[in-house]
Amino acid sequence: MATGTANLAVVTATTDLRFRPLTRSDLPLVVRWQHSEAARPWFGGGLSLEQAIERYGPRIDGVDPVRMYVALLGGRPVGYAQEYAAPPPPVPVGAALPGETVGIDYLLGEDELVDHGVGTALIGAFIDRVVRRDHPSATHVVARPDHRNRRSIRALEKNGFVAGLWVDSVARPGEPPVTEIVCTLDLHAGYADRVSETSGSGTTRTSQTAEIAVSVIGAAGRMGQEVCRAVEASDGLRLVGRYGHGDDLGDLGGADVAVEFSVPDASPDNVSHCLERGVHVVVGTTGWDDARLTTLRRQLDAAPPSRSGAPVGVLIAPNFAIGAILMMSFAAKAARFYESVEVIELHHPAKVDAPSGTAARTARLIGEARRAAGLGAVPDATTHDPDGARGARVDGIPVHSVRLRGLVAHQEVLLGGVGEMLTIRHDSFDRSSFMPGVIEGVRRIADHPGLTVGLEHYLGLD
């Protein structure tokens, strides 16, 4: 992920987004954008160039009344948007009938800009700079995203749109019908006060964004208490439930997302309870071996949809500290260059499992990288070790566990070659170091249906 580029884009997007009419020479770009990772699921895999010419050519030539524009960020084409005449939204009995209604559609096609506020800014800029100019008498703007596209729905909500009716689209030949949510923006209802503002830190915030309701399972534990404090301190999140050992989870307080920090023996049942109720789960409990993950995948296949109608998601993260995730990523990248490698993890003596989930995950990532590079077993002439002094083996990688009073969570990876050693180390001195990753998981899980193992997949480090 190009973090610096993305953060710069967020800061400048609201002032540096411009639009020009789409031309036929832009169609190869349109095709590439529709095949991007973020857009592909919503375009049936994306059009071919021939299909794009057939569909969009009449719009470009003015034969079709839909108007299409290329979105330019700092002069760089990053996506497109289109406007068209739309039927007015439903209104309550006795309310004034809406005036002109404009429909919009949009696509941010550069994956490195996704999830950094640029899509939200694109929608707002298109309304302000194109829709208002072309339709000065318009009173409402309507968009109809796929009901499973939480990223798009959230971007609309940040611009003041209100989600309404669910409708089935009219299918094009050879394409299945899609259930869409009619999202409406009232241009005369304080729109300017509702558009999200971008802070200098590069995060997008708005007082009108729908809050994410969060419950914490294992709330009485050290990590659970820290999670509760972090949720209560985070914009856009609302703590609706705290559950400890033996508590009836019930409906989880109406949560959208549950954060699960319990113990290995209880975690599978807790996660199953959440899935049966269509609640996304962010899991920090260890002990999820291959057998448990296989069972979990079957449960996800049978789970009802989430409250939004989108498929439910589960994130299992061995570690939520951003530095620890980077350490694992760096170790996997370095593994192919060194003949020897060992992992040492160090924790407080109250930790009940060994090796730690982070150490096991690190060893597996290293083992995969070594196999891909064609490396054999790590060299070790030991033939006599009755007391296990050489540690455990995880995916062929030696792993050593230390339990010592005064520690919190620490790990180092030692990589050795002829005449040199590389040490990659991460230290968590306080449990607060895990909270940015937990909150990031809560915010993003709705965009990642199914099972995800490792927060790195949410951060673009996979």
pLDDT tens sequence across 340-397: 999 999 999 988 889 998 899 899 999 999 999 999 999 999 999 999 999 999 999 9
353 and 439 in a single domain? The answer is no
Report d(CA 175, CA 168) in Å as an integer: 13
121 and 260 in a single domain? The answer is no
| Bridge pairing between strands 340-347 and 409-417 | antiparallel
Phi and psi dihedrals of 86, rounded to 5?
-130, 155
| Bridge pairing between strands 450-453 and 237-243 | unpaired
Question: Structurally, how many domains does the chain consist of?
Answer: 3
3 state SS of 392: strand
Q: Within a domain: residue 168?
A: yes
Segment 135-169, tens digit of pLDDT = 988 989 999 998 888 889 989 988 889 888 888 77
364 and 414 in a single domain? The answer is yes
Chain mean position to CA 55? 31
Q: Within a domain: residue 280?
A: yes
| Amino acid 108: pLDDT | 94
Segment 312-335, tens digit of pLDDT = 999 999 888 889 989 999 999 999
pLDDT above 80 (res 10): no
- In this prediction, residue 424 has a pLDDT band, given cuts at 50, 70 and 90, of very high
CATH number of 305's domain: 3.40.50.720
pLDDT above 90 (res 53): yes
Phi and psi dihedrals of 355, rounded to 5?
-70, 170
Q: Is 333 an active-site residue? A: no
246 and 140 in a single domain? The answer is no
Residue from 135, 273, 280, 347 carrying the catalytic annotation: 347
Q: Is the dihedral of CA 56, 60, 62, 66 positive or negative?
A: positive
| Amino acid 71: pLDDT | 94
Lowest-pLDDT range of 3-7, 26-30, 334-338:
3-7
39 and 170 in a single domain? The answer is yes
Count of Cβ atoms closer than 10 Å to residue 302 Cβ: 8
270 close to 247: Cβ distance less than 8 angstroms: no
| Bridge pairing between strands 340-347 and 397-403 | parallel
Structure tokens at 256: 């959208």
376 and 251 in a single domain? The answer is no
pLDDT above 80 (res 453): yes
Q: Within a domain: residue 235?
A: yes
pLDDT above 90 (res 227): yes
Higher pLDDT, 387 or 15: 387
372 and 451 in a single domain? The answer is no
CATH number of 136's domain: 3.40.630.30
Q: Within a domain: residue 92?
A: yes
pLDDT above 50 (res 407): yes
3 state SS of 459: coil
The pTM of the full predicted model, rounded to 2 decimals, is: 0.51
Cα 291–296–300 angle (5° rounding)?
Answer: 155
160 close to 184: Cβ distance less than 8 angstroms: no
Residue type, 196: S
Q: Is 158 an active-site residue? A: no
399 close to 355: Cβ distance less than 8 angstroms: yes
434 close to 322: Cβ distance less than 8 angstroms: no
Task: Report the chain's mean pLDDT, rounded to a whole number.
Answer: 85
pLDDT above 90 (res 43): no
Q: How far apart are the first and last CA of the chain?
A: 9
Chain mean position to CA 459? 8
Label residue 74 left, alpha or beta by phi (over 0 means left) and psi (-120 to 50 means alpha): left
* Rounded average pLDDT over 68-96: 83
| Amino acid 200: pLDDT | 33
Helices (H), 108-252: 118-126, 132-134, 150-158, 191-194, 222-233
| Amino acid 180: pLDDT | 86
CATH number of 393's domain: 3.30.360.10
Counts of helices then strands in the chain (DSSP H, E):
13, 20
Report d(CA 60, CA 70) in Å as an integer: 11
Helices (H), 174-288: 191-194, 222-233, 267-276
232 and 330 in a single domain? The answer is no
Report d(CA 233, CA 238) in Å as an integer: 9
**Parent domain of 17:** 3-205
Q: Within a domain: residue 32?
A: yes
- Final residue of a domain: which of 205, 227, 257? 205
Q: How far is CA 445 from each of CA 61, 168, 207, 284, rounded to the nearest angstrom? A: 41, 25, 21, 14
- In this prediction, residue 197 has a pLDDT band, given cuts at 50, 70 and 90, of very low
Count of Cβ atoms closer than 10 Å to residue 24 Cβ: 12
pLDDT above 50 (res 192): no
CA-based nearest residue to 362, from 402, 332, 396, 401: 332
Q: Within a domain: residue 279?
A: yes
Structure tokens at 246: 């033996």
Chain mean position to CA 298? 22
Segment 259-310, tens digit of pLDDT = 999 999 999 999 999 999 999 999 999 888 889 999 999 999 999 988 877 8
| Amino acid 96: pLDDT | 62
308 and 326 in a single domain? The answer is no
* Rounded average pLDDT over 427-441: 89
Structure tokens at 143: 């968009």
Residue from 35, 351, 448, 457 carrying the catalytic annotation: 351
3 state SS of 296: helix
Structure tokens at 266: 């209880």
Report d(CA 387, CA 455) in Å as an integer: 35
Range with top average pLDDT, 14-18, 57-61, 319-323, 400-404: 400-404
pLDDT above 80 (res 209): no
Label residue 96 left, alpha or beta by phi (over 0 means left) and psi (-120 to 50 means alpha): beta
235 and 179 in a single domain? The answer is no
Q: Within a domain: residue 462?
A: no
51 and 143 in a single domain? The answer is yes
191 and 145 in a single domain? The answer is yes
